[in-house]
Amino acid sequence: MKSTSGSSYSTQTAVRETQEVVKMKNKFFALIFASLIPLKSVLAHCPLCTMATGAALVTARWLGIDDALVGVLFGGFVIASSLWLNNVLIKKGLEFVQFQEESVVLLGIVSSLATLQLGNLFATNSVSLWGFNRLLIGTLIGSFASYLGHLIHLQLRSNNNEKNYIPYQGLVFILASTLIATIALRVML
């Protein structure tokens, strides 16, 4: 008689592996869902803004837009995420250093660039821009432009007794500065 214990073992293994995949997918979707739950107070850089920037980045790359321009969007995404994280830390009473915002932003930029390097995304571009990788240059330009927009927002807010001149002023200035950087880079390309 033929033994079926081998085939039942492989069936059991396959069932276990399938269950593990389902559990991982459930955890992933639970994490995505949890990130959509609004916080108790509205932050200047919220998860929705961060997700919108990330969606724009993914869409741009999918459409085949130049890596330098995608990098500008990625830089904006990094800055928005870093500013949001800093606001969450402050709301939770976690202020560590005098220049925390700048430190969190710098850490965000460095860790994002390291992630791109580890993902070998810098090696995929054969054509460089000004002697550097297009995605790297775009990311640095986008980060600088977005943070500059944030600083302009802070200065305007400071001049107006810590009140915005317009609703969503921080978001408007960050997106506007990122858009201006994207258009300027596109014209130079």
Taking only the tens place, the pLDDT of each residue in 148-184 is 999 999 999 999 999 999 998 988 999 999 999 989 9
Are 31 and 52 in the same domain?
no
32: its two tokens: 């995505």
In sequence order, the 6+-apart residues with CB closer than 8 A to the CB of 66 are 134, 186, 189
Confidence class for position 136, pLDDT limits 50, 70, 90: confident
Record the pTM: 0.65
27 and 49 part of one domain: no
pLDDT at 81: 87
Looking at residue 149, its pLDDT comes to 95
Total domains in the fold of the chain = 2
For residue 20, what are the domain limits? Answer: 1-37
Kindly state whether residues 180 and 151 are assigned to the same domain.
yes
Bridge partners of 129?
A: 132
Residue whose C-alpha is closest to residue 68's, from 119, 122, 118? 122
Same domain flag for 25 and 114: no
Tell me the two tokens of residue 70: 């995608």
137 plus 99 within the same structural domain: yes
Q: Is the pLDDT of residue 7 over 60?
A: no
- Is the pLDDT assigned to residue 44 strictly greater than 80? no
Residues 7, 69, single domain; the answer is no
Average pLDDT over residues 8-29: 64
Give yes or no: residues 26 and 59 share one domain.
no
- Pick the residue with more confidence: 82 or 51? 82
Q: Which residues contact 174 (CB under 8 A, 6 or more apart)?
A: 76, 79, 80, 146, 149, 150, 153
Q: Is the pLDDT of residue 20 over 90?
A: no
Same domain, 56 and 31: no
pLDDT, greater one: 40 or 171: 171
- CA–CA separation, 13 and 138 (whole Å): 46
Which band of pLDDT confidence, cut at 50, 70 and 90, is reported for residue 186?
Answer: confident
Mean pLDDT of the chain: 77
| 8: its two tokens | 């039942």
Residues 140 and 123 in one domain: yes
Mean pLDDT of 113-130: 70
* Whether pLDDT at 124 is above 80: no
> Of 98, 91, 78, which is closest to residue 150 (Cα–Cα)?
78
Strands 132-133 and 128-129, by their bridges, are antiparallel
Q: Could you tell me if 74 and 27 lie in one domain?
A: no
Dist CA 183 CA 189 (whole Å):
10
